[in-house]
């Protein structure tokens, strides 16, 4: 049986000024591991569960470039470049950071004077994704970085899939499987995130405009085969009508492997 999904507004839009306090955030590698998904497949979780000198877990933060009309970007932590030339649809590995406050800046690639985000982020223990959402042209949705809390805990014998609606011109959607027989996600609007745990299997995800009966016409389908014990994010990206959009990026589903759990392995343990 499919568990009832938990739908929540997990994306918190970040303003251009003011400090951002996160009760346990950001995952990544202080040395700037810049391996990332290239937009054509699944980005593996590349983090290690490490401890700081005072016994606290390191935090993890990654960057997802989901703004279809924005240029490639560079990412800085406390003035040091940790990711360079990040293209649209790329999702970086987690960067490992000790819990404290960091200055995070995102600029156009190779152009440090064109800043799209610059703020202090208080990092605790936990895992987060900083996602670039919306459009620079603001024809459908305004551009805004967002912080998404990542639940990388072990789903046991099931698999966890999180949907993030990042398609600027798409309406709120329902996602079903089995010709509409099973509802996975309901009324997910732009910027929404929701997670569901299901048995491992081959699924055809049916994307529909949200309706009261969850029976809108299917506008796209995507085949996925999640594995037991794994955690995934599925980012709905691009435009339903790319020919009329600021960028010719068609609607698609970018799936990332966020965590693997084998024989009771901890979060971030790939062995």
Per-residue confidence (pLDDT) for residue 7, from 0 to 100: 31
Per-residue confidence (pLDDT) for residue 262, from 0 to 100: 66
Per-residue confidence (pLDDT) for residue 10, from 0 to 100: 28
Which parts of the chain register pLDDT below 50? 1-52, 264-271
Per-residue confidence (pLDDT) for residue 57, from 0 to 100: 80
CA gap 50, 58 in Å, rounded = 6
Which conformational region is residue 138 in: left (phi greater than 0), alpha (psi within -120 to 50 degrees), or beta?
Answer: left
Query: Considering the entire predicted model, what is its pTM?
Result: 0.77
Per-residue confidence (pLDDT) for residue 135, from 0 to 100: 95
Burial classification of residue 8, based on how many CB atoms lie within 10 Å of its CB (0-12 exposed, 13-18 middle, 19 or more buried): exposed
Per-residue confidence (pLDDT) for residue 104, from 0 to 100: 87
Per-residue confidence (pLDDT) for residue 98, from 0 to 100: 87
């Amino acid at each position: 049986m499919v568990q009832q999904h938990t739908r929540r507004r997990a994306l918190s839009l970040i303003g251009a000024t003011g400090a951002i306090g996160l009760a346990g955030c950001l995952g990544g590698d202080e040395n700037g591991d810049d391996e990332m998904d290239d937009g054509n497949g699944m980005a593996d979780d590349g983090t290690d569960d490490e401890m700081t000198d005072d016994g606290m877990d390191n935090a993890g933060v990654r960057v997802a470039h989901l703004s279809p009309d924005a240029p490639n970007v560079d990412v800085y932590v406390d003035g040091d470049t940790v990711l360079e030339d990040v293209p649209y649809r790329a999702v970086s590995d987690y960067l490992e950071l000790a819990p404290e406050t960091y200055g995070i800046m995102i600029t156009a690639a190779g152009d440090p004077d064109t800043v799209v985000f610059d703020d202090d982020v208080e990092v605790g223990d936990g895992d987060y994704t900083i996602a670039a959402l919306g459009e620079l042209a603001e024809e459908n949705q305004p551009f805004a970085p967002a912080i998404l809390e990542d639940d990388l805990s072990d789903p046991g014998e099931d698999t966890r899939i999180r949907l993030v609606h990042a398609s600027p011109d798409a309406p709120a959607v329902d996602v079903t499987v089995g010709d509409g027989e099973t509802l996975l996600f309901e009324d997910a609007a732009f910027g929404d995130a929701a997670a569901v745990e299901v048995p491992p299997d081959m699924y055809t995800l049916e994307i529909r405009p949200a309706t009261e009966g969850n029976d809108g016409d299917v506008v796209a389908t995507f085949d996925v085969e999640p594995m037991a014990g794994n955690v995934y994010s599925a980012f709905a990206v691009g435009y339903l009508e790319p020919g009329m959009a600021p960028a010719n990026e068609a609607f698609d589903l970018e799936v990332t492997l966020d965590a693997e759990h084998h024989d009771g392995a901890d979060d971030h343990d790939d062995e």
